[in-house]
Amino acid sequence: MTDLLLLMTRVTNAISLGEGHFREFKSAFNQTPGDHRPRKVTDICTDIARTLVAFANADGGDLLVGVEDDGRITGVPHTAEQVQALLNAPITHVMNGEHLGLQHKSLIQIGSEHVLLFSVSKGSGRIFQTIDGRTVKRDGLQTVPIHAETLLFEQRERASRTFDSEFVDGAEVSSLDLDLLRGMAARYIPGMTPELYLQQLGLAEYAAGGLRLRRAALLLFARDILEWHPRSQVRILRVMGHELKQGVDYNVLSQETVTGNLLTLQASAWEALRPFLSQSATLGSDARFQQRYLYPELACREALINAITHRDYTIHNSVDVFVYDDRMEISSPGRLLSTVRVEDLTRLNGVHESRNSLVAKCLREAGYVQELGEGMRRIFRLMEENALRQPELTNAATTFSVTLFHRSVFTEQQSAWLRLFDEWHLSQLQQRIVVAGIGGHELSPEDIYEAINTHDRDTYDREVTFLRRNGLLLETLRADQATSRARATGKSKGGIKRFVIANPLTTPPSGRIVIHHIPRDITEKDLENSLGRHGKVVYVQLSKRAGRTARGIAIMSDPRVVDRLLASGGVISVREHRLTVQRPAQYVAEDASPNGS
């Protein structure tokens, strides 16, 4: 009797609240104007099945049959046999209806009318369909069709978002690596106890039975991780060639599997992966063997730690690292979260979201990781700084992978050209400018902006100043000449070609000199005539004048001419003036490292 009263109260409360995400009303009468006969049982059964499937595929809910959309109770006028058929609809009209999670199916009298109540819980890890194979889901007031694959992804994502925060029965502090835990607690705040540390980071809570551990605590600190997660592992496979083959053509040269809780796994997996980052040692210019790295170490480490931290731990697979001849693929179980798009990551928008929020929080506090978007920005930046191809991100059905290539963004010819400039330790942006000027190609300011892929004037000035001060970017037109040509041709000044890159083979570094304190009446032609008496002049440039004097750069084709000039006192005569010459000191930007980057 008490249960019946509770159900009656539940029905009346649901009616008073009206239809919503968790409530649906269905009439047992035809809705055609002038036809208020009872509906066909088969039609009502179809409605019952469709609504319950939609609730189960969403968040659960209550269905009332015999109630109009506006809340009026009109009842179920069908025979007892027909009512029983309606009550059986969750079994007869739903695929695998016995697993539907039906909490109530009852015929309840409200006043003078009878109403059918169906109550279904949220489906857990199962997709439900109507008997004719339709997949639907509750969305607000609507029951909408949805692809089974999409629904499965949503269910998995919900489970994966809460996985590390779930409490684990049977887990105790003794299940953890206490030495590791004490070390992390002391690193967090000296003197903090392990128990307080776990509570402080939300990894555990005290309850009546003692300290309850969340799954994140076990993932991070478990003494025997395989007892709590069978695939807390990183698998490293060295593959011969450019693709993985199967059967008799199987081409995996070596395979190593590293297992451990997340804190030890990051360190041990990295040590196992590091040997694959470099080629065999080669003899360097100093007659010593040098290790040549194919990939930036920090980029690889960031990608590996991101995979371990942000993977989906509800999927019992390992993080897989495939090392091919031309690339490295780091694949982690689970797609990206629905709120994170590959486009946002590749555009370096700095998307901030972590699937395993407690795991990520602990590792961030310890300084191991950043948010997924921040770590991805670092990977892209490191690959760019090393002149390597941009990483590829792949969001597959059950995995997310980051692919790093060891191919340079420069061609073999461009790389050979850049090696001529090794002694200047050019930044990545400076290298792009130098490559743009390969083969004596004249450059305009617009060409340089395009080469460095920016419209920022400060960046342009910094990189161009470095190249000009070091005599690597030479003027073919002065600024005033470029202005005149722009007016004459109707072009913008920025589009006028007025720079060339100096070829170190024809303008060797030792053939360059700087002339100081040049009076205002001295021209570039005067300098060229004076220096021409000592040897062939390749290039002369007067820098912007400051005050009453200017500074100049000259390049002699024969470096021995410079040696003789400096040995004789470092002075040249230009008209009636005696000017001091010196070898140029390498220019370093004031706010940058020695390479100006």
Out of 43-52, 437-446, 531-540, which region has the weakest mean confidence (pLDDT)? Answer: 531-540
361-396: pLDDT as tens digits: 888 878 777 554 578 888 998 888 877 889 999 999
> Cα dist. 375→56, 139, 151, 232, 304 in Å?
38, 35, 29, 21, 11
The answer on 356 and 247 residing in a single domain is yes
Higher pLDDT, 28 or 149: 28
The last residue of one of the domains, among 456, 483, 501, is 501
Within 10 A of 162 (CB to CB), how many other CB atoms are there? Answer: 14
Per-residue pLDDT band at 139 (split at 50, 70, 90):
confident
In a domain, 276, yes or no: yes
What is the average per-residue pLDDT within 53-67? 91
The answer on 323 and 465 residing in a single domain is no
The answer on 279 and 140 residing in a single domain is no
The answer on 377 and 519 residing in a single domain is no
What is the average per-residue pLDDT within 348-357? 74
The answer on 30 and 104 residing in a single domain is yes
**Among 104, 111, 120, 116, CA closest to 27:** 116
Cα gap 195→205, rounded to integer Å: 9
The answer on 537 and 388 residing in a single domain is no
459: CATH: 1.10.10
What one-character-per-residue DSSP string does 111-176 give? TTEEEEEEEEPPPSS----BTTS--EEEETTEEEE--HHHHHHHHHHHHHHHHTTSB-TT--GGGB
182-232: pLDDT as tens digits: 999 998 889 989 999 999 888 999 887 789 999 999 999 999 999 999 999
| Tokens, residue 14 | 């649901």
Domain span at residue 32 reads: 2-146
Cα gap 406→488, rounded to integer Å: 47
| Tokens, residue 515 | 């002339």
pLDDT at 215: 95
The last residue of one of the domains, among 363, 389, 405, is 405
In a domain, 190, yes or no: no
The answer on 334 and 238 residing in a single domain is yes
Per-residue pLDDT band at 587 (split at 50, 70, 90):
low
Long-range contacts made by residues 242-246, C-beta under 8 angstroms, separation at least 24? 242/324, 242/325, 242/326, 242/327, 243/324, 244/322
Within 10 A of 438 (CB to CB), how many other CB atoms are there? Answer: 16
Cα gap 586→419, rounded to integer Å: 18
Which residue's structure tokens are 């730690």?
Answer: 305
Cα gap 568→143, rounded to integer Å: 94
10: CATH: 3.30.950.30
In a domain, 203, yes or no: no
pLDDT at 301: 92
If one counts the domains in the chain, the total is 4
CA atoms within 13 A on the CB side of 476: 15
329: CATH: 3.30.565.60
Which H or E element spans position 413? helix 412-419
Which of 116-120, 422-426, 553-557 shows the highest mean pLDDT?
A: 116-120
Q: What are the two backbone dihedrals, phi and then psi, of residue 496, each rounded to the nearest 5 degrees?
A: -80, 125
The answer on 464 and 350 residing in a single domain is no
What is the average per-residue pLDDT within 53-68? 91
Out of 98-102, 337-341, 459-463, which region has the weakest mean confidence (pLDDT)? Answer: 337-341
In a domain, 548, yes or no: yes
Cα gap 71→12, rounded to integer Å: 10
In a domain, 448, yes or no: yes
Q: Residue 283 pLDDT > 70, yes or no?
A: no
The answer on 111 and 17 residing in a single domain is yes
Which of 253-262, 292-301, 384-393, 573-582 shows the highest mean pLDDT?
A: 253-262
Cα gap 276→270, rounded to integer Å: 10
Quote the DSSP letter at residue 439. G
Quote the DSSP letter at residue 19. S
Q: Residue 280 pLDDT > 60, yes or no?
A: no
The answer on 29 and 110 residing in a single domain is yes
In a domain, 162, yes or no: no
What is the average per-residue pLDDT within 350-370? 78
In a domain, 297, yes or no: yes
- What is the residue-averaged pLDDT of the chain? 87
Hey, is 435 helix, strand or coil? helix
**Among 351, 344, 345, 303, CA closest to 327:** 303
pLDDT at 216: 95
147-171: pLDDT as tens digits: 887 777 777 777 788 889 899 999 9
In a domain, 423, yes or no: yes
The last residue of one of the domains, among 357, 386, 405, is 405
> Cα dist. 247→238, 241, 244, 251, 329 in Å?
17, 16, 10, 9, 21
| Tokens, residue 431 | 């290298």
Q: Residue 508 pLDDT > 90, yes or no?
A: no
What is the average per-residue pLDDT within 583-594? 55
Cα gap 561→505, rounded to integer Å: 16
573: CATH: 3.30.70.330
pLDDT at 590: 47
513-564: pLDDT as tens digits: 889 889 988 988 999 999 999 998 888 888 755 567 788 888 887 888 888 9
Q: Residue 42 pLDDT > 90, yes or no?
A: yes
Which H or E element spans position 519? strand 512-519
Per-residue pLDDT band at 351 (split at 50, 70, 90):
low
Which of 20-24, 25-29, 342-346 shows the highest mean pLDDT?
A: 25-29
The answer on 296 and 247 residing in a single domain is yes
Which H or E element spans position 9? helix 2-17
Strand ordering across the sheet containing 512-519: 537-542, 549-556, 512-519, 577-582, 571-574
What is the average per-residue pLDDT within 416-431? 87
Q: Residue 339 pLDDT > 60, yes or no?
A: yes
The answer on 304 and 391 residing in a single domain is yes
**Among 379, 376, 375, CA closest to 367:** 375
68-105: pLDDT as tens digits: 999 999 999 999 999 999 999 999 999 988 888 898 89
> Cα dist. 170→223, 227, 290, 449 in Å?
14, 11, 53, 62
